[in-house]
Amino acid sequence: MKHTLKSFFSICLLFSMFLAEAQETPTVKKETAEKKTVQKPEANETVKDSLVKTDRYGLRVGVDLFKLTRAFYDKNYKGIEFVADWRLTKKYYIAAELGFEDKTTEDDRLNTTATGTYIKGGFDYNFYENWLDMENLITIGLRGGFSAFSQDLNSYKIYNPNPYWGELPPVEVNQKYNGLSAAWLEVALGLKAKVFNNVFVGFGVQLKLLAMNNKPSGFDNLYIPGFNRTYDGSFGVGFNYTVSYFIPIYKKKTIVPALINESPKK
């Protein structure tokens, strides 16, 4: 968990750097706009100076490598997550994640295994201004998540503040709680960079807020697939590292006013 948080902060830092950059762009635009008005009398010139930019629209599908590779070094974890997004407008994307997790949690006093599938759906807003034909994304998005899972209580320890008769070994129970479900909202920050052709590599962090939690009677949901570890409150955090492939379906042309406008007649 500490690891996840650490990476979260470093990514936040990364974001803040981009923020500064994002702030620059509008001022450049304003300048262009001003210069455009100055140039207005020579209407023919402006058309020539404009640049036609094609935006590609389509479906991006990928997989979370963080979850996929975790099974190699963490014997208590098996999981996979597929990610997909569909470009709706220039800035907005419909996004969804579908996953499966099987995680054994070894707490000091409890040993539990949560197994289940989850689905998350929502949108992403890309606030990164791309240069020319670049297609990178820095997104902020909202998701609704739902998970259906089961929980296995493998063993527990009895807490006795007065261990005069000694500490008891863990009690093996193997009690299975089926038909559990949970729903949550999450704010997702993401970064996707095109590495070559249509292949994208991305990082994402999510802050989650538990909205519905169907607990077993006499026990608690200690881990919810897709939501991750639960805390005393209803907050949660998540992290993913994705590799995805973009399938272009159609193109849209946008006219971008060019920056070059020193009057050539001088």
Q: Which is nearer to other proteins, 6 or 40 (CB)?
A: 6
Would you tell me how many other CB atoms lie within 10 Å of the CB of residue 183? 17
Q: Which is nearer to other proteins, 104 or 117 (CB)?
A: 104
Q: In 3D, which of 219, 20, 246, 29 has the Cα closest to residue 114?
A: 219
Q: Which is nearer to other proteins, 166 or 264 (CB)?
A: 166
Q: Which is nearer to other proteins, 65 or 142 (CB)?
A: 142
- The distance of closest approach from Cβ of residue 264 to other proteins in the complex, given in angstroms and rounded to an integer, is 38
Report residue 238 as tokens: 């998540």
Strand 223-224 and strand 137-156: the pairing is unpaired
- The distance of closest approach from Cβ of residue 39 to other proteins in the complex, given in angstroms and rounded to an integer, is 31
Rg (CA), the chain: 25
Report residue 67 as tokens: 């979850």
Give the integer Cα–Cα distance in Å for 205 and 249.
28
Please identify which residue in the block is written with the tokens 């998970």.
147
Contacts of 141 (CB under 8 A, 6+ apart): 93, 95, 122, 123, 124, 125, 187, 188, 189, 190
Report residue 54 as tokens: 């094609």
Give the integer Cα–Cα distance in Å for 82 and 135.
21
Residues in contact with other proteins by the rule CB under 8 A: 1, 5, 8-9, 12, 15-16, 19, 22-23, 107-110, 127, 140, 156-165, 168, 171, 187, 189, 207, 218-220, 222, 231-233, 235, 237
Give the integer Cα–Cα distance in Å for 263 and 266.
6
- The distance of closest approach from Cβ of residue 108 to other proteins in the complex, given in angstroms and rounded to an integer, is 7
- The distance of closest approach from Cβ of residue 170 to other proteins in the complex, given in angstroms and rounded to an integer, is 9
Q: Which is nearer to other proteins, 140 or 243 (CB)?
A: 140
- The distance of closest approach from Cβ of residue 250 to other proteins in the complex, given in angstroms and rounded to an integer, is 28
Contacts of 10 (CB under 8 A, 6+ apart): none
Q: Which is nearer to other proteins, 155 or 198 (CB)?
A: 155
Question: Would you say 161 and 206 are in contact if contact means Cβ atoms under 8 Å apart?
Answer: no
- The distance of closest approach from Cβ of residue 160 to other proteins in the complex, given in angstroms and rounded to an integer, is 4
Q: Which is nearer to other proteins, 37 or 217 (CB)?
A: 217
- The distance of closest approach from Cβ of residue 4 to other proteins in the complex, given in angstroms and rounded to an integer, is 11
